[in-house]
Chain A
Amino acid sequence: MENSEKNTIEELGVSKEYQYGFHDDIKPTFKSRKGLDEEVINQMCDIKGEPDWMRQYRLEAYKIFKQKPMTKWGGDLSQLDFDDIYYYVKASDRSERSWDDVPDDIKKTFDRLGIPEAERKFLAGVGAQYDSEVVYHNIVEELDKIGVVFLDTDTAIKEYPDLVKKYFGTIIPSADNQFAALNSAVWSGGSFVYVPPGVKVEYPLQAYFRINSENMGQFERTLIIADEGSQVHYVEGCTAPTFSSESLHSAVVEIVCMKGSRVRYTTIQNWANNVYNLVTKRAFAYEDAQMEWVDGNLGSKLTMKYPSVYMMEPGARGDILSIAFASKGQHQDAGAKVYHCAPHTTSQITSKSISKDGGRSSYRGWVDVAKGAKGCKSHVVCDALILDKDSRSDTYPVIEIGENDTNIEHEARVSKIGEEQLFYLMSRGLSEEEASTMIVNGFIEPLVKELPMEYAVEMNRLIQLQMEGSVG
């Protein structure tokens, strides 16, 4: 056992390190004081050198944030102290484009995250967020050649002001919810992607980022615009080092899928156990466009995340595939929302959750069919796997149908790891831990098989680590 443990660490280094958290000793070049007010926001705008419209946008959002009462549904947010958080940390003065310019400390972290390897494998445009600022953003030349824009959002505001201004905050307005308002006020980093009409990006665009400063809020803002008939797959993976006090991560992701386009957005998150991960993700899909969210949530103290698709015109399609793994002291409140705003639109929600060691996972789903949206189809499948009697799983589905001519199916299943399955695998030589890990990996296979190879491998490793020592 000791030997295999060692092997696991050596081979994965990365994932094992994630488990315990690690952070390099980097001196942020600027750090705002704790807490948030207009002065902090103004200071942030000054340092970033942002245009006035963005300053006004932030200040307006801050006003909305202050007026919103604390969110009461979902998970327990009572421990979250907005005054005890740094809202802006800048790790280095400018975005780095060349690997040689990246500071050694940061490189070391990237090494552990496996980014250089990903590069060698010819994976496209690695954008990685370090603290609040993107310090390394390597855009593959091919992307330039085919007219694809892949930047951190701060840079995009300067280089593509009209494009950003046209769509920023149109999918998720500041007033949408408390955390969207907070993000709109203090956002930093995130990715901006624009894919021109008819362009199909053949390889996934990837962004790695991680929280690296205690008590630092991470509020990245991502905006993806897929023009008519284009196709793109965006992948993000996050990890965080473990700290004793609470951390807040509250991202906003907005996606515009124009006529006939196809966008897939894949997320694998493994937050440290003290992180509040409160994310708003939404896509508008127009005529015959297809939006797919693939969302894997591990770790964190509380995750509240419900990727949504608004099907705005006929023929649009929204697919949401999500997996949550709730372990000790964790609450995964995850799910999906689909809004059928036009006739002949189709959606599919597949949600899988695993609860272990007293962890709690909830599925919160919303299916909405507007009046007059005839011939819509929606299929929802929720599977929960509970590994022991201390753990918990709940389902909160809401279905609102304003139209008779529609076809909605909802299936929910809760299961425990079967004694028969364990016995069968063990009778073939597997230990109890190997057998349960295999059953769990099989359970999440529908998500894993949708992931790019390296992510699939990492996902299985993460599950393996989560399962370690889980059996008496």
Chain B
Amino acid sequence: MGHPLYQVDSGEVIFDGVDVLELEPNERAKLGLFLAFQYPTAIPGVSLANFLRLAVSAVRGKGANGSDNDGLIPMREFRRELREKMQQLGVDDSFARRYLNDGFSGGEMKRAEILQLAMLEPKIAILDETDSGLDIDAVRIVGESVSQLIGPDLGVLIITHYPRLLDYIRPQFVHILLDGRVVESGGWELTQVLEAEGYDPIREKHGIDE
């Protein structure tokens, strides 16, 4: 997403004909890209709802359908949409008033990320170890939530160490990344092999020690 501390040495990223690497993080978001963070940063004093209203307005384009004087989507409309999506994701109403990621548990952070995903309606979302640090129930809730959102308008790239999340999401393509390279590609059945045998056989096959 263009973190200032990361530099791309080689290669290119083209999305919808646009050179993504040329863009600022906010321009990438407007293009329809989304990154669900593994450890999202807390912004004390800023409520999730306030933040989301500004973000949604920015991504959908200021001055877009029926926006108010500040270029924000009208409060009533925003609230309705937020409430709907929170219900879909099984998130409590009080969530919207809490300060963004401030004092959130691991599970709450991940759910807040998925709620943002649902509200911002990107075209491509990357979920960076969204299942890490979650207990079994939380993984199920996150997994089910994401699979609700996936469809013709949203493609998702999931980065994970554990196949469990994939029980709920059932990806079309699975790639195994080992030592910085994709070493195996296949369909969902690849996760079943992993589940049964672990990573060791793949490591052996590709001659990489643990």
Using a CB–CB cutoff of 8 Å, the interface residues on chain A facing chain B are 3-4, 7-8, 10-11, 418-421, 423-432, 434-435, 438-439, 441-446
Contact = CB atoms under 8 A, between A and B. Distances in A.
Interface string B107-121: 000000000100010
B58 A442 contact: no
Contacts of A423: 1-4, 25, 41
Interface in B26-75: 26, 28-30, 34-35, 37, 40-41, 43-46, 50-51, 54-56, 58-59, 62-63, 69-71
Contacts of B4: 419, 423
B42 to A, nearest CB: 8
B121 to A, nearest CB: 11
B72 to A, nearest CB: 10
B54 A442 contact: no
B196 interface: no
B195 interface: no
Contact of B99 (A4, A431, A442): A442
Contact of A11 (B43, B46, B70): B70
Contacts of A424: 37, 40-41, 43
B5 interface: yes
B29 A427 contact: yes
Contacts of B70: 4, 7-8, 11
Interface in B76-99: 99
B43 A7 contact: no
B167 interface: no
A95 B68 CA distance: 41
Contacts of B50: 438
Contacts of B3: 423
Nearest to A11: B69
A425 B43 contact: yes
B58 A434 contact: yes
A427 B25 contact: yes
Contacts of A425: 43, 51, 55
B35 to A, nearest CB: 6
A427 B46 contact: no
Contacts of B56: 429
A403 to B, nearest CB: 34
B24 interface: yes
A429 B43 contact: no
30 contacts: A3-B71, A7-B71, A8-B70, A10-B69, A419-B4, A420-B41, A423-B3, A423-B25, A423-B41, A424-B40, A424-B41, A424-B43, A427-B2, A427-B25, A427-B29, A427-B35, A428-B29, A428-B116, A429-B30, A429-B58, A434-B54, A438-B50, A439-B46, A442-B43, A442-B45, A442-B99, A442-B100, A443-B44, A444-B45, A446-B45
A292 to B, nearest CB: 20
Interface in B1-25: 1-5, 24-25
B26 A3 contact: no
Most central of B1, B37, B43, B58 by chain A CB within 10 Å: B43
Contacts of B24: 426, 432
A428 B120 contact: yes
B59 A429 contact: yes
B50 to A, nearest CB: 8
A445 B89 CA distance: 28
Contact of A429 (B2, B29, B40): B29
Most central of A7, A430, A434, A439 by chain B CB within 10 Å: A430
Nearest to B50: A438
Given A427-B34, A430-B58, A445-B99, 14 more contacts: A418-B41, A419-B5, A423-B2, A425-B51, A426-B24, A426-B26, A428-B26, A428-B58, A429-B26, A429-B56, A430-B54, A439-B43, A441-B45, A446-B45
Contacts of B37: 424
B25 A426 contact: yes
Contacts of A445: 44-46, 99
Most central of A7, A8, A425 by chain B CB within 10 Å: A425
A419 to B, nearest CB: 6
Please list the 7 inter-chain residue pairs (A to B) with the smallest Cβ-Cβ separation, ordered nearest first. A442-B45, A445-B45, A429-B58, A442-B46, A429-B29, A429-B59, A426-B25
